[in-house]
Structure 1
Amino acid sequence: MSAARPDPVRSSSWTVRVREAGVAALPPEKLLPDGQPTYVASWIYVFGVASIAALIVIIGSGVILSLKGPAWWHYTGIGHFINSVHLWAVELFFFVMVVHLWGKYWMAAWRGGRTRVWITGAVTFLVAVPTALTGYVSQQNFDAQWIATQAKDGLNSVGVGAFFNVTNFGQMYSYHVLLLPLAVVGLVAAHVLLVRRHGVVPPFELNERAAPLRSASPDSDSSAAGARS
């Protein structure tokens, strides 16, 4: 009878403990896999990657706009172009993200211990909404003024206008270029890491989807009655 193996000595270094915990939670073969299941080839799985691609374009164009300032994006040709790229990247981001969310909702993407994957994705969408709103009111034009005054009335009606003042350009600009984008990027990073850890949610098995239909069909009732007789 072989002797039991002694427990490994736990290192006293916090960096070693953090590294070991990270590798245990997310092994390298999961973090950077070299293959995916065949069902990932379906188009429904493309919209998540498209959301990340649109977000990268948003961040890149937004950095340029924030460095150049309102006069540049309003009165120069290249400024108009970068501003348009930023706008349409946001439109694409919301479109593909909504399709991604609805697709995963109907696939019950929280199955198999993936609840946190679903929650981080849904919260990312919720945080992206005020991020876009603060961008609209930071345009420094009449469009931004109209949006800000209408939004101010709505926010005042629910009692948060004093804390989130959409007519204050400095406050909205700091929210738009720093605080809210950091939250979105952090949530997206957490979402991707959780997907890597738990894997992409598989589609429903065909027999699982057909079982309720078979049990509710008249043929199944008649066959069951015949079996009883």
Structure 2
Amino acid sequence: MARLRVAPTRSNLLRMRDALQLAREGYEILDRKREVLTTELMHIAHEAAQLQEHVWGLLADAYQALEMARLTMGREKLEWAALSVNRTIEVDVRPESVMGVVIPTVTAYGAPPEMPYGLGNTTVSLDEAAARFRRVLSEVPVLSETMTTVWRLALELQKTQRRVNALQYIFIPEYEETIAFIESAIEEREREEAFRLKRLKSRASEPTAGPGHREYGQTYRDIGGGKATSSEFG
């Protein structure tokens, strides 16, 4: 397992312990955020799928009604009727923050009037097509808001997952391995220092020979007779 290249000192040990604690706290926060994002994304994605299916159904009905109007009126008259619609729809997009994710709130203003064209040379099928397209326009802003929310939540979940994995599988193991290395090196130095001090104390406590005592052919004092004699040990 990889470890950081730092000197095995007590100051680095304290620094690595602080970094490990911070990494563990960050992991817990990001892991909770990941769980919340996952739950919220699943809920919004399900809602978006239903809304998308609903809008696509409305759009299919609208195009079907438009095709019926083309068959009854003819292409040229239908195009002239479409040109009479000169109003636009204004869209107001305001950002909101959900768990640090900026999502849009879409509001549409200025829907087309119910009958922007004259009654002459038009049919009931055209009225039906116009009504169905107005309904589609009322649903599209909600769909766009929901789909954008899903997309941004998915991106945030992906980023959060990468950060969680980096902390769990890279940073935290590196800090733990580095701390273990520093602790082992410090303990080894302390054992060596204790052994060295023990040897110094042992040498200091060894007895030393008294004055006048000589060995291996040197004179020594015979305490009993008070005479200096010479002896060879061997």
Q: TM-score, normalised by structure 2?
A: 0.29
Higher relative contact order, chain-length normalized (CA < 8 Å, sep 6+): 2
Q: Which has the larger radius of gyration?
A: 2
Name the structure where helix makes up a greater proportion of residues: 1
